[in-house]
Amino acid sequence: MAKMGRILAGTLCGLGLAFLLGSLVYFGPAQKEEPPPSTSSVTAVTAPSKNSFVGQSACAECHSGISQLYESHPMSRSMSSLEHPGFEESDHRTSFRVGPSLEYVVERNGGTVRHHEICYDADQVPIYDQAVETTFSIGSGSRGKGYLIERGDLLFMSPISWYAGKNVWGLSPGYTAERHPRFERRVTDACLSCHAGRVSHVRGEPDRYPTPKFLELSIGCERCHGPGESHIAFHRSADESPGEQVPLDSGKIDPIINPSKLAPRQREAVCNGCHLPLEHGYLRYGQSYHDFRPGQDFDEIVTAFVEANPTSAVEGESRAVSQVMQMRESRCYLASDNRLGCTSCHNPHSVPTSTEKQNYYREQCLKCHATQDCTETTPRRNELDHDSCIVCHMPKLAADDVPHTSQTDHRIPRGRIHLDPASVRPLPSPLVTELVSPFDGWDQRLTARDTARAWGLLLTAESEKRSPQQTRYATTAEERLKSVVADRPEDLEALGSLVSVYLTLNRRSDARQTLDQLLKQDPQNEYGLIQMALLLHAEKDWPNSLQYWQRAMQQNPWIAFQQIQHGQTLVKAGRIDEAISAARRAIELNPGFLAAHTWLAETLPQVGKPDEGEQHRKLLSRLKTRPK
């Protein structure tokens, strides 16, 4: 379920964020794996406000100064369209090689940008040149940009990304030269809820975006301050004066959210929603990634897991993890009684220029350290970049081009003057010895059922990995999830995870029964349709398997491997012509698909098409002998 169900049932895409690098977290010792379920009562989940969004231009009518200032902030450039005549990364044809046989090309022709994958044979003659149009860039460009492909109401990510630190093009994060998802990686709600301003979103249809897909391209004012309709109406009404936030129905106080006025947990939730990478995070029942509103707790929407016992790195090393978790390890945070937060040092409306940076952050440090002088000598401090606090206490890390990792050491260590950036090591992925724990102690606030659900989803994801603990994780996940669906049989996410658990445990009958339950409630569930098609294929029920394949292909016809799986069922059903069409479609999506070329080379001569079969045989030979 985590392999596909996170996309299809509304959870995180494992790597998703387009331009997201996810590290997977394994469980540690068995005795720590099963925390007792919480028995505390949960604060009621806040329903999404009916207060409507108005867009940043409406905010700028009264807040023009701060709106203009915000235009310099990277968040204001979190997404952009590629329709304009040029873009800063490249205004012409640009290419890079990955090994001796693969070349990637970025090419603009007027208002169209195409990304190419070109494969060469042993003689460096092109075998194929696949070009796919991209329509949006994702990322501000501060570290880099990824690129999105529109296909119907779905979005996919290109394997090509631009990295600002070195001003180079390369494979997107998570892609390797040996094997990667090419142009088939889905972009999900989890990605766009952070990188886009507002998307066209139909509730109950996760990861699907009708046209126009983006109602507001980049992150705007309302992401941190909440929908502005009531705020504008308030100021256009009687003689009311802005004040601190109170419930919208009071009618007396300005309803706009000022995050600085919120309690620490709700204040930090505004930032954590996007700056805490959710390698293991699961939507609460009935929620979507587009439901969060400033003023809510983060765990009203998502139950997130992080390392249970983060430890400081040894001298001269650090870990490429999120700014949030690094900050929480710092002495500054631990001594602040949770008062220190992201906006203690960062202005969410602007960023200092390179010439302003040292003095700006020194001023932030001196808000708390004005009476305690630095222990380093003045000559040495001046030698180290003009008496900068951050050059010593927030040294640069090596992973400056990797999305969702910290560029500077937010643990604010002491005595790191002689840090060699080359010695900084990234966080190993996956972890194999450390346990994860609920972020911010949400298990102490949620009900036992919600806590069991979150652990069940996490254990399901772990059970899908081939490890000695696979069966134990699946069995424990089953215990958690069965209790959840017994109380809440309409929980599609839990049902989908149970399907995955039963498949891991090779209990096909239970998987089939659970799939029936899932698809009865959500007939278009892509994950459920594919798994049912595969189960019926294994049972040699070809006609019924094909019915589910047809429905699955209607939902997403853009995955080459699924086209081949569909074709295998067509062969068994004796529908060879349709199977050939499916194999051809697979090659359109992935011209280097060896299995598809092999099958067509063998099958086409048998149906009176020897010349076409010979073409595939020759292509297959060139693909197999190309340099690796």
- Compute the Cα dihedral for 582, 585, 590, 595 and give only its sign: positive
620 domain-assigned: yes
- Compute the Cα dihedral for 443, 444, 446, 450 and give only its sign: positive
Residues found in the chain: 628
134 domain-assigned: no
Please tell me what DSSP assigns to residue 431: B
Does residue 481 sit in the same domain as residue 591?
yes
Say what the pLDDT of residue 427 is.
Answer: 37
Say what the pLDDT of residue 187 is.
Answer: 96
Percent of the chain surpassing pLDDT 70: 80
Does residue 621 sit in the same domain as residue 523?
yes
With contact defined as beta carbons under 8 Å apart, do 210 and 153 qualify? yes
With contact defined as beta carbons under 8 Å apart, do 138 and 132 qualify? no
Cβ neighbour number for residue 618 with a 10 Å cutoff:
13
Say what the pLDDT of residue 91 is.
Answer: 62
Cβ neighbour number for residue 583 with a 10 Å cutoff:
28
Which tokens go with 391? 């050059």
C-alpha closest to that of 216 among 198, 230, 233: 198
Say what the pLDDT of residue 280 is.
Answer: 86
Q: Which residues of 107-124 are buried (b: 16+ CB within 10 A; e: fewer)?
A: ebeeeebbbbbbbbbeee
Domain count of the chain? 2
At 439-481, the pLDDT tens digits run 999 999 999 999 999 999 999 999 998 888 899 999 999 999 9
Does residue 407 sit in the same domain as residue 336?
yes
Does residue 490 sit in the same domain as residue 613?
yes
Amino acid at site 386: H
pLDDT higher than threshold 70 for residue 24 = no
Mean pLDDT of 51-58: 90
235 domain-assigned: no
Tell me how far apart the 2 most distant CA atoms of the chain are, in Å: 88
The answer for 286, left when phi > 0, alpha when psi is -120 to 50, beta otherwise, is left
**CA 512 → CA 7, 503, 508, distances in Å?**
21, 9, 6
Does residue 480 sit in the same domain as residue 348?
no
At 122-147, the pLDDT tens digits run 999 999 999 999 999 999 888 889 99
Better pLDDT: 316 or 563:
563
Compute the radius of gyration of the chain from its Cα atoms: 26
Which tokens go with 92? 């012409």
530 domain-assigned: yes
Does residue 494 sit in the same domain as residue 584?
yes
Mean pLDDT taken over the chain: 83
Sheet arrangement for strand 102-109: 94-98, 102-109, 112-120, 126-134
At 246-303, the pLDDT tens digits run 454 555 688 899 999 999 999 999 999 898 877 789 999 999 999 999 999 999 999 9
Q: How many Cα atoms are found within 13 Å in the side-chain-facing hemisphere of 404?
A: 22
Say what the pLDDT of residue 49 is.
Answer: 53
Q: In whole angstroms, what is the distance from residue 457 CA to residue 476 CA?
A: 10
Does residue 487 sit in the same domain as residue 596?
yes
Does residue 403 sit in the same domain as residue 481?
no
Which tokens go with 87? 């873009």
Does residue 620 sit in the same domain as residue 513?
yes
At 385-433, the pLDDT tens digits run 656 788 778 877 665 455 555 577 887 877 543 434 443 333 333 332 3
Lowest mean pLDDT among 196-205, 279-288, 420-429, 555-564: 420-429
- Among 396, 423, 450, give the residue marking a domain's end: 423
402 domain-assigned: yes
555 φ, ψ (degrees, to nearest 5): -75, -40
**CA 371 → CA 368, 405, 417, distances in Å?**
8, 33, 22
Domain hosting residue 475, numbered range: 468-625
110 domain-assigned: no
The angle formed by the CA atoms of residues 63, 65 and 71, to the nearest 5 degrees, is: 100
C-alpha closest to that of 225 among 272, 294, 273, 274: 294
Stated pTM of the model: 0.85
Does residue 387 sit in the same domain as residue 515?
no
With contact defined as beta carbons under 8 Å apart, do 154 and 135 qualify? no
Q: How many Cα atoms are found within 13 Å in the side-chain-facing hemisphere of 32?
A: 12
CATH of the domain at 537: 1.25.40.10
600 domain-assigned: yes
- Among 423, 448, 483, give the residue marking a domain's end: 423
269 domain-assigned: no
- Among 423, 447, 476, give the residue marking a domain's end: 423
Local confidence band at 308 (pLDDT 50, 70, 90 cut-offs): low
Q: Beta strand pairing status for 144-151 and 102-109?
A: unpaired
Say what the pLDDT of residue 43 is.
Answer: 36
Say what the pLDDT of residue 597 is.
Answer: 98
Q: Which residue has the tokens 């090591």?
A: 425
Does residue 418 sit in the same domain as residue 316?
yes
Amino acid at site 251: G
**CA 217 → CA 262, 370, 463, distances in Å?**
27, 41, 37
Does residue 416 sit in the same domain as residue 336?
yes
Highest mean pLDDT among 101-115, 121-135, 170-184: 121-135
